[in-house]
Amino acid sequence: MSIDKTKAPVDSPAAAADAVTAIDPRLLVREQGFAGYIGEFKRKMRAGDLGAMPVVVGLIVIVAIFQSLDSAFLSAQYLSTIFVAMVATGMMAVGIIFVLLLGEIDLSIGSVSGVSGAIMAVMTVTHGMNEWLAIATSLVGGAAMGAIHGFFFARIGAPAFAVTLAGLLFWNGFMLQLLGSNGTINIDSDGVVGQLTTYYFSDVAAAYGLAVVAVAGYFLSAYFGAKRREAAGIPSRPLSEIILRTVLLAVAVFGVAIIFNQYKGLPLAVLLFAIVLVGSDFLLRRTAYGRKIFALGGSVEASRRAGINVTAIRVSVFAIAGLFAAVGGLFWASKIAAANQSAGAGDLLMNVIAAAVIGGTSLFGGRGRTWNALLGVLVITSIQYGLALLGIATPIQYMITGGVLLATVCIDSITRKTQKSAGRA
């Protein structure tokens, strides 16, 4: 018998006092200073908590290979092109990360993005509608299409895989119907949509200004966050760590800004993508809504018992995926200056899912951040443009991208196993 009621001192105040403050001896606590960081880093690697490491290493390897094969790869012009080209896929990847966090999948986003481009083109070109209104219509349309998938999944209970597979076919047919017999509608490349991927802020102050805002914003929020935690008497990040992180961020951000300014300046598309990344990350990690999405990815039953409206969250998440698919569709239409029958087809869907997964979003739900979309889409687009630069044909491109995706999924599964054995799944 483990507890003897007569002997055990019930609620002894001495035990209560040191309950949480006394750190469990089994818990490894990071030592202070930079030696501590290295120790923790090694431990995390061993525990399978790889974070963004494999992607960053992979990206460096990819860039190094292409640069050694063709020195034009690292030119300011080519890098700027890659950054602009990745935005369409990246926007859609942000949307699918929301769905992947639930542990579900959305196969329809390619087709939905095609419909969105077609709606915009038909309304502006064929019917002469105001372009902003047409954009709003296609975005609302995308969200509505996503919500329809969400309804059949969450309310009717059909598997998301099957529902969105049906959506893939249905919306592709819908797009072909909208485009009509001639199949291609060219859009005004000087219009709002046309400028999405062609406009650059040529003033060097734009790129540098954005970089300063990003670095200062990060530092201030981290600094005041730590101050507030300190005031509340809970563990906080030391100033040295905040400064180290800020410096690393500054190196990356200013490096990219310098590259942009050597070509045409800060691309509008990249600015919009950055805003979407910051906004969606905020939504997922700093709001109650985002917490509910993570909870559903962890345990549906626990979420339901905690009073979370499971159906509403699921429908809204699919609507978000549809919305971002529509955004991606507009960028796609902008890139090719037209809405055509091949929009949203081919390897687009696979690239979007690959970008999310390569970035580190788990296919098993509950794990991932929208920043994963940035890293993943950088990898995918670098491979595509690098191979194109070397004049390697599409069939080989597909095979290489497929291989990279397989490797990533394997890394995801293996780290999950390692994490389980390290108790961090």
Enumerate binding residues for another protein (CB under 8 A).
1-5, 8, 10-11, 15-17, 19-24, 26-27, 225, 228-229, 232-235, 286-288, 291, 294-295, 297-299, 301-303, 305-308, 365-367, 420, 422-425
Nearer to another protein (CB atom), residue 22 or residue 393? 22
Contact 247, 65 (CB under 8 A): no
Nearer to another protein (CB atom), residue 25 or residue 391? 25
* Alpha helix segments (H runs only) across 155-267: 160-179, 192-196, 204-231, 239-262
At its nearest, how many Å lie between another protein and the CB of residue 66? 36
At its nearest, how many Å lie between another protein and the CB of residue 286? 5
Sign for the pseudo-dihedral over CA of 115, 118, 120, 126: negative
Distance CA 419, CA 398 (A): 31
At its nearest, how many Å lie between another protein and the CB of residue 100? 13
Per the rule left: phi > 0, alpha: psi between -120 and 50, beta: everything else, 346 is: left
Nearer to another protein (CB atom), residue 237 or residue 335? 237
Contact 380, 8 (CB under 8 A): no
Nearer to another protein (CB atom), residue 35 or residue 302? 302
Nearer to another protein (CB atom), residue 102 or residue 411? 102
Tokens 């709606």 identify what position? 119
At its nearest, how many Å lie between another protein and the CB of residue 312? 13
Distance CA 336, CA 193 (A): 11
Nearer to another protein (CB atom), residue 166 or residue 300? 300
Kindly report the backbone phi and psi dihedral angles of residue 267, in degrees, each rounded to the nearest multiple of 5, phi listed first.
-70, 140
- CB-neighbour burial class of residue 396 (10 A; exposed 0-12, middle 13-18, buried 19+): exposed
At its nearest, how many Å lie between another protein and the CB of residue 291? 6
At its nearest, how many Å lie between another protein and the CB of residue 358? 20
